[in-house]
């Protein structure tokens, strides 16, 4: 069980710290420049509530809410990820074409 349940951390302090983490994640997510950081922060934070539901609290409406709150930032991170065509060091057709065009243009001005 959590430290709050055992009385090692008082319940108001535990709730306020959890609310602060959620607020920081939400503010980061709402600012376009830091939206990916906010989504990653929210997804990482939600691992704790998910695990507490699985091992301690049980399944219910709050568990479904925690799953949705975890999945949506992960989907956002996947959708906004910039996939590189040259990620594994392979040369694509587009790279060869652009290299050929650059050489062709350079040789035309010699």
Among 52, 33, 51, 46, which residue's Cα sits nearest to residue 73?
A: 46
pLDDT of residue 30: 92
Give residue-wise pLDDT tens across range 84-109. Answer: 555 555 555 555 555 544 445 555 55
Alpha helices, DSSP H only, in 81-109?
93-108
Give residue-wise pLDDT tens across range 49-73. Answer: 888 888 888 788 888 888 888 899 9
91 secondary structure, DSSP code:
P
């Amino acid at each position: 069980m959590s430290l709050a349940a055992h009385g090692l951390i008082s319940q108001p302090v535990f709730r306020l710290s959890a609310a602060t983490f959620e607020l920081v994640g939400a503010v980061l997510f709402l600012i376009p420049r830091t939206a990916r950081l906010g989504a990653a922060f929210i997804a990482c934070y939600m691992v704790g509530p998910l695990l507490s539901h699985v091992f301690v609290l049980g399944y219910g409406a709050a568990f479904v809410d925690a799953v949705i709150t975890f999945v949506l930032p992960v989907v956002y991170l996947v959708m906004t990820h910039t996939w590189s065509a040259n990620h594994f060091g392979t040369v694509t057709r587009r790279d060869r074409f652009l290299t050929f065009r650059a050489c062709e243009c350079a040789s035309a001005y010699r």
